[in-house]
Structure 1
Amino acid sequence: MKKALQFAILFFFLSVHSQKLKSPSTFLGYELGSQFSRHHEVVDYYKYLSEEVPNQIKLITYGKTNERRPLLLAYVSSPENMANLENIRKEHLLATEGNGNSSKAIVWLSYNVHGNESVGTEASMQTIYELLTTKKDFLKNTIVIIDPCINPDGRDRYVNWYQQFKNAPHQLDPDSKEHHEGWLTGRSNHYMFDLNRDWAWLTQKESQQRIKIFNQWLPHIHADFHEQGVDNPYFFAPAAEPYHEVITKFQRDFQVTIGKNHAKYFDANGWSYFTKEVFDLFYPSYGDTYPTYNGGIGLTYEQGGSGRAGLSVTTGTGDTLTLRDRLSHHLTTGLSTVEVSSKNAEKLNEEFRKFYRNKNFKYKSYVLSGNEDNIEALKNLLAKHEIQFGNVEKGVVKGYDYKTGNTGSMAISENSMVVSTNQPKGTLVKVLFEPKAKLSDSLTYDITAWSLPYAYGLKAIASPNLVEAQNQNEIGSFAKIEANRYAYVTDWNSMKDARFLADLLKKGIRVRKTNHPFSMNGKFFERGSLIITSEDNKNKNGFLSILKEVSKTHKKEITNTSSGFVESGKDFGSSTVEMIEKPTIAVLSGSPTSTYRFGEIWHFFEQQLVYPVSVLGSDYFKSIDLNKYTILIVPDGNYETFFNEKQLKKLTDWVRNGGKLISMGSAIQAIGMEKGLSIKVKENKDSTNRAPKLHKNIQRERIKNAITGAIFKTKVDNTHPLAYGYDTDYFTLKLGSTSYDYLKSGNVAFIENNTKPISGFAGSKTQKKLRNSLVFGVESLGKGQVIYMADNPLFRGFWENGKLFFVNALFMVD
């Protein structure tokens, strides 16, 4: 009786207390939706809620952004569930082992992955308030996890920009400045990466920190809140085709269940919406697909608006779209998602357990061999996803050969690794490693090929049999450096080697490269191998200590040698063993460069290679003395008017005097206007007369000229410094149909006659256009060089095997 009375008093106190809970509008001091909230104000509101109702909210900081803003998660549920939160989590995860009897639905709501899709964070505050007040019943059997802002750096960039440029009062005219962000938009994070395409690749700080918590919960439902063009109605589930073939019938059906519930509310309010179009479930690195491949229901919600909308804007139909409108729509789908999950908690748990039962995939194991550094890099990625892997015993494995595209076999050693689908993350393994993802529709929203063996440049066999793993999840070591040796030698074939070299150059260590293969002490060293002699560094204080420290940091295998006399090849004193210059590097930024493509380069230097780079603004480029730099990188972009005759002359004069220009993507066309260069865009010679096409078929006709991110096999001249460390084949990720004729010389990686993609979709006309086309090449101009990169080796930071081409352009080509 006494306990019952205590509980009644506590319930009464909590009820009264919750009635006094401040709404976002009351707390912030302005009506929500009347202006944009800055990130620190959002953080303050969530902290306020956690202090006012600590028995219903647990607020954690799971990390910080590059600009030091906190990344938050709020766990929201009933007092009873919150008191038992850790046990609920553990019981839920038992389902991944085929056990457990959880009865709670786990719902994760993610907002503002794109910073200028700004209404999401505003809606998150009203959503959590409603869950704590008017919608408390949803929480009886549901744990709601809210990430109010995945991308605080991008969001504050947008909000601060808008505050600077909006009219007073704000202007509805879509031509007004407040509706036109500048070059550096708020969409992406600090490094201009799209965080909604980084779930699988984990290149960004925000993604790496978030995935640790995500794997601790593996929610039943993950909803990702976005915005699209101003004139678009609201999009919600079900998603468009193609659905990846691993997506279960229940996952498909539940998309419909959720969509119908949303439609009920939108219909009642007369709000416009669409489903089953545009936004598919295929590419694995989205906020909807990645959770789906981990057993949940991944959802994308798209509200019309984005950075163009501001606080309100006149649409193409003459209507007015306000921030309050956008907020109401996201609030509705957010609450509807929790409602449906609560009503279907039992079914969600039942189907989640089913998802984690062993599946009869065609390939049971993926066995990989080759570059040990690339294998180690792949292991590091898999470990972040909590995917199990291991080494294998010596022998031979048979199955699908990634290199030939046919059935074949491969000799394996104890350094080979295997990743099996017979594990909790087996479905994700199948998606990330499959040679060819099956497309139900070639009209897709993103790339159609990403297979990790190609991305990491490894020989691989997809085996229909289960190959047992040894030494599970172990990651390798390095050798010691001995004193008083003539030289120290190491190989060159990976990003680990690149970081090692960059670190040495920054610390003032002089390093040579060999332009011919050689053997010494019974070991064979390919072109590009690094030679560090004691003589070259005799005047460097602490030389040996620095070398030891750097090799330990990068876990680098070093061969100690007492002589420069080689067993075969060129001795260390040969003119072919050249000193590597410490380059001074600059990259062009600002309009007309692509923000994403510039960001990839910026991130590569600062977070992957860890080597200094100067960022030059396009608005003052004409006043820069290029002679300060030995290398200039021009990212992909639209340079039709930027490189006028005067600018192009300045650039090419610098090259002629010894500069090195790295031209990427469509920048090649602008640079190619220089008369002294032979680079030419391939012409489309298809002049066949064709019958008129039906209007309804126009979109499908267009894709004959398109590539939706497909993998092609290229030939490589690995005797050229741009290709040091590579085999004679390279698998490139091609993202567009623009192609270039072979150069007169310096064709380093190129596509020959066979242009059928080894994985992914490419239109029939595009395939013809790619015949005999350049991928990477080098052309001399006076004393300098122009390096062409038609394909992007740094795309989204995940194509590991392409990065060494870029590094070779920096350090090996001279």
Structure 2
Amino acid sequence: MFYRLMVAFLTIVVIQCAAQAANVEQYLPAKQNYEKSITKPEQVLGFGIGERHIRHDQLVRYMEQLSQESDRVQLTQMGYTKEMRQQLLVTISAPQNLARLPQLLAQDSDGKNSADPLVVWLGYSVHGDEITGSNAALVVAYYLAASMDKTVEQILSDTVIVLEPSINPDGMDRFTQWVNMHRGTTPNADPNHIEHHQGWRSGRTNHFGFDLNRDWLLLSQQESQNRIEYFHQYQPHVVGDFHEMGANSSYFFQPGIPTRTHPLTPKANTQLTQLLATFHSAALDKDNRLYYSQENFDDFYYGKGSTYPDINGGVGVLFEQASSRGLQQESINGLLTFEYGVQNHVYTSLSTITGAWQNKDKFKQYRRTFYQEALKQAKDEKYTGYLISEKHDQYRLTNFLTKLQQHRIKVYPLIEDLRLDGKLYSKAHSYYIPLAQRQYRVLQALFNQGTNFQDNTFYDVSGWTLPLAMDINFKRVKRTWGMEIAKMPWQPIQDRTIAAINPQAYAYAFEWHDALAPKMLYQLLSQGIKAKVATKSFASVIDGQSKTFTTGTIVIPAGIQHQTAWRELVEQYAQENHLNIFSINTGLTIQGVDLGSRSLRNVEPIKVLLIGGKGSSQYEAAEVLHYLDDTLNIPVTVVEQLRLANIDLSTYSHIVMVDGRNQHVKKSEIEKIKQWVKQGGVIFGQKRAARWLVSQGILKAKIVSDESLDSLFATDDLAYQDKERLSARKRIAGAIFETHLDLSHPLSFGFTDQQLPLFRNSTLIFDGKDQPFTTVAEYTAKPLMSGYADRNLVNRIAHNPAVIAHDFGKGRVIATTDNLSFRGYWLGSAKLLANSLFFAKAFSASAK
């Protein structure tokens, strides 16, 4: 009874607080005057900050109002999200700074002029359901625009403050719609209420379902690509990254755990972060608010908003607020309100600005020293740079070079062929990346293959080596003697012209090496154009020269086409995808199989169903969708596990299952799936979906048991304090492993190198190779290439299959223990997924 009375009393208090929250000044320092001509947020929104969750359009509307009324505020539209919402940047400074902002930023490119302004960048709500940040941004923007305080005026004179008020607009609106739809008239603090529990596609992620706070380094998503250009224009000295965490936490700000900082980050960075922490603690102490600082979170992975600045001459600081998710929620610390969380982020936003401003000379000197030391470290290395090459896949190579350019890394084309260590590097496909450049640390972060670390407990991935992920050949170069490189860095070619096809050709062919070859094949098949895949190589005369076509080549014979204007479509799709089309004038080849051979197998049209919903990983589903839909333009039908009973599977050629427990797939649906595969369907399972396929008797493989894995780790003489360290040894947080492909297998079509790096973030292991001809990729003897994994796990993984494929009745089952399209940048291994769609019937391997 007492508990209920207390909850009722606290509810009344919350309602009263919400009424006070209607006035923005309730969030701001007391006894300050504000310019009356500046409109307050509540006057535009129609409700006060903290009373309800704002939509993105409401946020944009207020910022536009602010920029019209204040000469301290300047808006920049960075671009649009996939759902066509603006990505807004709000720059706030003294009017004289804004008037010459481009010159100020250009002059300070190397931090040489101490008179130039300090730059502070505050980014809010990269996870759209952590929306206290975006609401706090409204308060901070009003304060800086309207305050008449002399100290604020001085700060704005010395500082350029950049607000990104909503880093993830699409996720923000998805969450806001959920909360506003499910909240009642009377606030409900029960953690079980639907208001606090989102659907399968949560507001945390963007349109495709990606966590944008993992994409600063990888740049696979449109929002990240739009932002990175402006980040490098502003070159912030300090970056605040505002998040939320579980309701039963309090408030966190970095430095976090010192031993979990990446070795490329200078120690002075942590010291400056600790200096700023004294300002945050002072701000929260005034209101007796709970917080902590040196626990849980790390500064290791550079793809996050609080860590990417750390290799770009700035200091990034993570802030985490206990989340009410809805308007309010009961927690172990009492009733947690939305308004309370907004207030905390306002406090630390202002403490970040104040702390950076009061120590502006230290932050400016830090950036100067940062780049001076980077150049010195580059010169101290035992090698001068990296040599990269990719002969067969122009799309993958261009994508890779573009990412480097977006990070302001300079890459120089070779202008003469180079022979090095017995290998020829063609000038047409090879590039040199010198270490001695301003972005030395970013370059090393992208190419590093470290496997040993001071602290082996990782909050996020430990290995993300970009060339391995994109399957780009790279080599350290000790000296540049004899190497002829261009004077100007690489720039993308705007238009690549593809040669016209012969309109009278007997057949057309295109090779499978290029990443966009599957896209073109789908386009052809969807238009009723018939195509075949060569399962054996052949050679033909092309323009008077002998040309060898390897397995995987797609052949489009004229004699079997019945579509009007099909040749024009072939040429059109080739131009769109920048793929070379070879015109073949006879079916009689000069070597290998002829074009009428049964070794050229028909490729059938595909229709893909992905099983999603609760019980399936929204992240891995997003990665598959992004690769198939956004990169290859192959539509994917997503069906939640609970809807499978109502789906006619016979209309689909493929089922894709990603990591998850699949607990909502009922026995009747399991039997339906089995019969569908037996009748000719193709099912693909990744990670725990592969385990599920084994448990249902569809995939014929053995899985190493959890008990067997536990037995690898001795527990004798361990104290209680060793518990966390043992747990870290037993998991693979995210590392890169080497596999060898069976290049003769149809699922390996398009690959030219036996070595294929794969990304692994689980301890699921296929045990042994009992079935002949079913292993597509196998781990090598020493498979760990980048990141941390305990040597006991590495040894247990070695020599075991990574990808298995075999017959199941008339159908096929394909499975992997790894994530083939991790975070949208693993273009190397993603091709295995495309091959599984088009070439599953090009192989046959029975399994007991």
Q: Return the alpha-carbon distance in structure 1 between the equivalents of residues 246 and 277 of structure 2.
A: 21
Q: Return the alpha-carbon distance in structure 2 between the equivalents of residues 507 and 719 of structure 1.
A: 30
The answer to whether structure 1 residue 181 and structure 2 residue 198 are counterparts is yes
1:102–1:349 Cα contact (<8 Å) kept: no
Q: Return the alpha-carbon distance in structure 2 between the equivalents of residues 179 and 201 of structure 1.
A: 31
Partner of 2:758: 732
Partner of 1:419: 433
1:61-460 map, 5 Å: 61-95=77-111, 100=113, 102-132=115-145, 133=147, 134=149, 135-240=152-257, 241-305=259-323, 309-317=325-333, 319-357=334-372, 358-361=375-378, 362=381, 363-373=383-393, 374-392=396-414, 393-397=416-420, 410-414=423-427, 415-436=429-450, 439-460=453-474
Deviation digits for residues 46-77 of structure 1, max 9, x if unmatched?
A: 11111111x11111222122222221111101
2:641–2:665 Cα contact (<8 Å) kept: no
Deviation digits for residues 676-700 of structure 1, max 9, x if unmatched?
A: 5412211353648742521110011
Q: Return the alpha-carbon distance in structure 2 between the equivalents of residues 259 and 274 of structure 1.
A: 10
In structure 2, relative to structure 1, the CA distance for the partners of 1:565 and 1:284 (3 Å cut) is farther
The answer to whether structure 1 residue 519 and structure 2 residue 539 are counterparts is yes
Q: Greater shift after overlay, 40-49 or 652-661?
A: 40-49
1:127–1:335 Cα contact (<8 Å) kept: yes
1:431–1:437 Cα contact (<8 Å) kept: no
Partner of 1:10: none
Q: Return the alpha-carbon distance in structure 1 between the equivalents of residues 698 and 166 of structure 2.
A: 51
1:460 Cα shift? 1.6
1:635-714 map, 5 Å: 635-639=658-662, 641-675=663-697, 677-683=699-705, 684-685=707-708, 687=711, 690-691=715-716, 693-714=718-739
The answer to whether structure 1 residue 798 and structure 2 residue 834 are counterparts is no
1:478–1:557 Cα contact (<8 Å) kept: no
Equivalent position SS for 2:620:
helix
1:484 Cα shift? 1.6
In structure 2, relative to structure 1, the CA distance for the partners of 1:567 and 1:334 (3 Å cut) is same
Q: Return the alpha-carbon distance in structure 2 between the equivalents of residues 215 and 310 of structure 1.
A: 35
The answer to whether structure 1 residue 536 and structure 2 residue 560 are counterparts is yes
AA paired with 1:395? L
Q: Return the alpha-carbon distance in structure 2 between the equivalents of residues 676 and 760 of structure 1.
A: 33
1:472 Cα shift? 3.0
The answer to whether structure 1 residue 764 and structure 2 residue 783 are counterparts is no
Of residues 465, 490, 494, the one that matches 2:514 is 494
Deviation digits for residues 112-133 of structure 1, max 9, x if unmatched?
A: 1001101000000111112221
The answer to whether structure 1 residue 723 and structure 2 residue 748 are counterparts is yes
Q: Return the alpha-carbon distance in structure 2 between the equivalents of residues 535 and 376 of structure 1.
A: 36
Partner of 2:502: 482
In structure 2, relative to structure 1, the CA distance for the partners of 1:106 and 1:718 (3 Å cut) is same
Q: Return the alpha-carbon distance in structure 2 between the equivalents of residues 322 and 620 of structure 1.
A: 36
1:244–1:438 Cα contact (<8 Å) kept: no
1:631 Cα shift? 0.9
1:603 Cα shift? 1.7
Deviation digits for residues 526-583 of structure 1, max 9, x if unmatched?
A: 211111222233x322222222221112111233222222232211110010121111
1:710 Cα shift? 1.2
1:446–1:708 Cα contact (<8 Å) kept: yes
Of residues 577, 599, 607, the one that matches 2:630 is 607
In structure 2, relative to structure 1, the CA distance for the partners of 1:771 and 1:433 (3 Å cut) is closer
Q: Return the alpha-carbon distance in structure 1 between the equivalents of residues 279 and 774 of structure 2.
A: 57
1:281 Cα shift? 1.7
Equivalent position SS for 1:184:
coil
AA paired with 1:700? R
In structure 2, relative to structure 1, the CA distance for the partners of 1:753 and 1:380 (3 Å cut) is closer
1:569-588 map, 5 Å: 569-588=592-611
AA paired with 2:829? G
1:119–1:326 Cα contact (<8 Å) kept: yes
In structure 2, relative to structure 1, the CA distance for the partners of 1:437 and 1:149 (3 Å cut) is farther
Partner of 1:9: none
Q: Return the alpha-carbon distance in structure 2 between the equivalents of residues 680 and 145 of structure 1.
A: 54
TM-score for the superposition, normalised by structure 2: 0.88
Partner of 1:563: 586
Q: Return the alpha-carbon distance in structure 2 between the equivalents of residues 86 and 570 of structure 1.
A: 63
AA paired with 2:798? R
1:718–1:748 Cα contact (<8 Å) kept: no
1:479 Cα shift? 4.0
Deviation digits for residues 726-777 of structure 1, max 9, x if unmatched?
A: 2222111111111112362443344446245121101233224323422111
Q: Return the alpha-carbon distance in structure 2 between the equivalents of residues 23 and 251 of structure 1.
A: 37
Q: Return the alpha-carbon distance in structure 2 between the equivalents of residues 266 and 676 of structure 1.
A: 57
1:585-604 map, 5 Å: 585-604=608-627
Equivalent position SS for 1:189:
coil
1:463 Cα shift? 2.1
The answer to whether structure 1 residue 510 and structure 2 residue 533 are counterparts is no
AA paired with 2:336? L
In structure 2, relative to structure 1, the CA distance for the partners of 1:442 and 1:385 (3 Å cut) is same
1:438 Cα shift? 5.9
Q: Return the alpha-carbon distance in structure 1 between the equivalents of residues 636 and 423 of structure 2.
A: 42
In structure 2, relative to structure 1, the CA distance for the partners of 1:385 and 1:482 (3 Å cut) is farther
Q: Return the alpha-carbon distance in structure 1 between the equivalents of residues 484 and 386 of structure 2.
A: 11
Gaps of at least 5 residues in structure 1 are 1-14, 399-408
In structure 2, relative to structure 1, the CA distance for the partners of 1:371 and 1:706 (3 Å cut) is farther
In structure 2, relative to structure 1, the CA distance for the partners of 1:617 and 1:677 (3 Å cut) is closer
Q: Return the alpha-carbon distance in structure 1 between the equivalents of residues 34 and 293 of structure 2.
A: 41
Aligned-pair Cα RMSD in Å = 2.2
1:422 Cα shift? 2.4
1:600–1:795 Cα contact (<8 Å) kept: yes
Equivalent position SS for 1:707:
coil
1:475 Cα shift? 4.2
1:322 Cα shift? 1.1
Taking every aligned residue pair, what percent have the same amino acid on both sides?
28
Q: Return the alpha-carbon distance in structure 2 between the equivalents of residues 391 and 498 of structure 1.
A: 28
TM-score for the superposition, normalised by structure 1: 0.92
In structure 2, relative to structure 1, the CA distance for the partners of 1:558 and 1:109 (3 Å cut) is same
1:268 Cα shift? 2.7
Q: Return the alpha-carbon distance in structure 1 between the equivalents of residues 202 and 157 of structure 2.
A: 41
2:690–2:699 Cα contact (<8 Å) kept: no
Equivalent position SS for 1:279:
coil
In structure 2, relative to structure 1, the CA distance for the partners of 1:717 and 1:161 (3 Å cut) is same
AA paired with 2:683? L
Of residues 637, 640, 651, the one that matches 1:617 is 640
AA paired with 1:730? L
AA paired with 1:295? G
